[in-house]
Structure 1
Amino acid sequence: MLQVIHTANSPPIKQKVFVDNQKMRMELIEAEEPNVIIYRSDLGLFYTLLPQKKLCFVTPYSHAFKNKDPIASNRLHNLTLLGTELLDGVPCDKYEVTGPFGKAYLWVNKEKDAPVRLSSMEGQNVVDWIDYQKGPQPPQLFDPPQGYQVIDLSKNVPRKSPPPPPSP
């Protein structure tokens, strides 16, 4: 699907997004140097791909990042149906929702049961989903491509030393 993020005073950000269970791939498009981020909640790591340089950086989820995992933390709570509205000529159920971002509005295509738009309460931040398709994705979307140099950044992550043994 295509995800378009609109924020106040910034040009829209366009991304291709693929999600399959505990895996998500986001491809930044229309950027000077396109990149790809693959989140693997199932493995507790993410890949950052630089296609122009054929590089793949592997980064383990930090303890702090686990709480902000874009897959697990993207759950919506307290959906309250507000009614039905036409959005670009398509009948959508409009909900008030609560998520990691606070309260917002969510529009869901009634026929396809697919999300169409998420908007902050004041409308300053809006995410549109175009051509949303449910179902499994090709597994190779979520692994580093063949021929890329893989750089494991976990080797550069400082480790906390164990506490000293108690004094006698």
Structure 2
Amino acid sequence: MKNKTIRATLCAALLIATALASASFALDFSAEFVEKEGETTRKGKIYMTAEKSRFELDGSGEIEVTRADKKVMWLVFPKKKVYVEEEFFGALPGDATNGDPKDTGDLSREDLGYEIVDTFRLRKYLVTVKYNNGETQDQYYEWRRNGFPIPVKMQSLNGEYAYEYKKIKFAPQDPNLFAEPKGYRKIGIEELDELETVKQNKTKKK
């Protein structure tokens, strides 16, 4: 995938895909999110149900809609009136490949006590995920809120990457937020890259 703006959105989408896979009951909420990667900060809004999510990344000119129920993801560009369709890369409960369960790793959490985050008292954990019988592993921090089934905040050990939900509101979400775009032209990644190249060339000539 060549387009940089898509990669930025997919980084956030990967976290929500994990949430969609792990949520065992209906979850309807909206929230603001803040994603930090090094010195870069991205903000936006998310709308979510048990099997659907919608990201609106501020200043990106794009919207990302994930449909776990259809195993598809749409990257929508309102200004261009186009969208890209990608296969949903998150594992759903009960999904299998060639009859064998997907390897999601051996996950463990170390309780580090409570911290106040965005005025809420959250439980902090050190999460360790081991793969291939412990040959490789990932570690990160997560903060959890009572009554909320997914982490409110996640952060790498070195603090270079962090992701957080703020102003969480529980309410049924409008189904139209997660619908395939109407009146938009479906294109591939290659064509999107060509449109971006043309735009950059026009900008240079001005």
1:47 to 70, 74, 81: 74
Whether 1:90 and 2:125 are equivalent positions in the alignment is no
Gaps of 5+ in 1: 157-168
Change (3 A) 1:88 1:43: closer
CA drift of 1:126 comes to 1.0
Using the size of structure 2 for normalisation, the TM-score is 0.57
- 1:20 match: 49
Q: 1:36-66: CA deviations, max 9, x gaps?
A: 111112112221211112223333x1xxx63
- The 5 A counterparts of 1:97-136 are 97-98=127-128, 102-110=138-146, 113=148, 115-134=151-170, 136=172
State the secondary structure of the residue aligned to 2:180: coil
Structure with greater proportional helix content: 2
Number of matched pairs: 144
What is residue 59 of structure 2 aligned with on the other side? 30
User: Residues 21, 99 of structure 1: CA spacing in aligned structure 2 closer, same or farther, 3 A cutoff?
Assistant: farther
Matches of 1:53 and 1:124, distance apart in 2: 33
Q: 1:128 to 1:42 in 2, by over 3 A?
A: same
Instruction: Confirm or deny: 8 A CA contact 2:82 2:187 kept in the other structure.
Output: no
Change (3 A) 1:116 1:45: closer
Distance 1:70 1:12 in 2: 27
Q: How far off is 1:21 after superposition? A: 1.8
The answer to whether the 8 A contact 1:24-1:71 is kept is no
Map of 2:185 onto structure 1: 150
Judged with a 3 Å threshold, the aligned counterparts in structure 2 of structure 1 residues 138 and 128 are, in CA distance, closer, same or farther, namely same
User: What CA distance in whole angstroms lies between the structure 2 residues aligned with 1:3 and 1:76?
Assistant: 28
User: Can you list the C-alpha shifts for 1:51-90, whole angstroms capped at 9, x where unaligned?
Assistant: 112223333x1xxx63xx2887999942332211222443
- How far off its partner does 1:96 sit? 1.7
CA contact (8 A) 1:20 1:135 kept: no
For 1:3, give the aligned amino acid: F
Cα distance per residue 1:118-158 (max 9 Å; x no partner): 11112221111112234542211111344x223265xx9xx
Identical positions, percent: 23
Q: 1:41 to 1:90 in 2, by over 3 A?
A: closer
Query: What's the secondary structure of 2:40's corresponding residue?
Result: coil
**Structure 2 residue identity aligned to 1:118:** M
